[in-house]
Chains A and B, each alone.
Chain A
Amino acid sequence: NAGVTQTPKFRILKIGQSMTLQCTQDMNHNYMYWYRQDPGMGLKLIYYSVGAGITDKGEVPNGYNVSRSTTEDFPLRLELAAPSQTSVYFCASSYSGTSGGAGTDTQYFGPGTRLTVL
């Protein structure tokens, strides 16, 4: 298994440009997440999905959009890039059954995308 893969690894955008960060997992996980990591700030949840067709906002969703059309893919869309979106973006996935304990399932992270907006 490749686990969680993210593309691209690096990207430089100009203010106002748009882009999509790709995330794919091959572990048949039902839950997927997008985080941003800024120095000294830890990991902040942007959006998450509990299954295909279901997404919900996290702590810092403004300026981003997501979709989940398949179990495997969870792309993150930046419509109008701003310097405040300069960050490292991580996608993660986990598997949770219906018997409960979803909040305790191990999240598996991808290698990250380093985005700079100039």
Chain B
Amino acid sequence: QQQVKQSPQSLIVQKGGISIINCAYENTAFDYFPWYQQFPGKGPALLIAIRPDVSEKKEGRFTISFNKSAKQFSLHIMDSQPGDSATYFCAASRANFGNEKLTFGTGTRLTIIP
């Protein structure tokens, strides 16, 4: 069973602070690592994704850091805002045609307090 382990399960951050969510994977064949954001009552939506040929990808306040040797990747949310309060899922897959399956982490419920 391919696994992606995500931590923490829940996180409370003050407005303006940095939110950090971590994921670790086992399968060295994984080479695509997306993060999905889910608001209550909604389906998940792609937030940002990275391939292992780079160690960092930044989109606005959201950054993925990737450590291939440690088989770990993390999501950093800078200047966290109450609107960022949501559940975040990391995921992983192999970028080969014929493999269409994402393996998801167990999710992190992020709460940003004023």
Is A bound to B? yes
Residues on A facing B (Cβ under 8 Å): 4, 31, 33, 40-45, 48, 50, 58-59, 90, 92, 94, 96, 98-112
**Is the pair A103, B94 in contact by a Cβ cutoff of 8 Å?**
yes
Q: Give the CA-CA distance A96 to B95 in the complex, in Å.
A: 11
Distance, CA A96 to CA B85, complexed state (A): 31
A50 and B46 within 8 A (CB): no
Contacts A90-B43, A104-B95, A112-B43 given; does A42 touch B89 at CB 8 Å: yes
Question: Is the Cβ of A42 less than 8 Å from the Cβ of B99?
Answer: no
- Residues in B whose Cβ lies below 8 Å from that of A106: 34, 46, 49
Interface centre among A41, A42, A98, A112 (most CB of B within 10 A): A42
A42 with B104: in contact, given A104-B49, A109-B44 (CB under 8 Å)? yes
Given contacts A104-B93, A110-B43, A111-B43, contact A42 B105 (CB under 8 A): yes
Cβ of A98 to closest chain B Cβ, rounded Å:
7
Does B32 make an interface contact (CB < 8 A)?
yes
Query: CB within 8 Å of A: which residues of B?
Result: 1, 6, 9, 32, 34, 41-46, 49, 51, 89, 93-102, 104-107
Distance of A59 Cα from B46 Cα, bound (Å): 21
A contact residues around B97 at 8 Å (CB)? 96, 98-103
- CA separation between A48 and B93, bound complex, in Å? 15
Contacts of A43 in B (CB 8 A): 44, 89, 104
Q: What are the residues of chain A within 8 A of B44 when measuring CB–CB?
A: 43, 90, 109
Residues of A with C-beta under 8 A to B105 = 42
Complex partner residue of A109 from B6, B32, B43, CB under 8 angstroms: B43
Q: Are A31 and B95 in contact (CB under 8 A)?
A: no
Expressed in whole angstroms, the Cα–Cα distance for A100 and B98 within the complex equals 8
**Contact present for A102 and B104 (CB under 8 Å):** no
Question: Taking the nearest CB of chain A, how far is it from the CB of B109, in angstroms?
Answer: 10
B43 touches A40 (CB 8 A): no
Known A-B contacts A90-B44, A92-B43, A109-B44; the reply to A58 vs B101 at CB < 8 A is yes
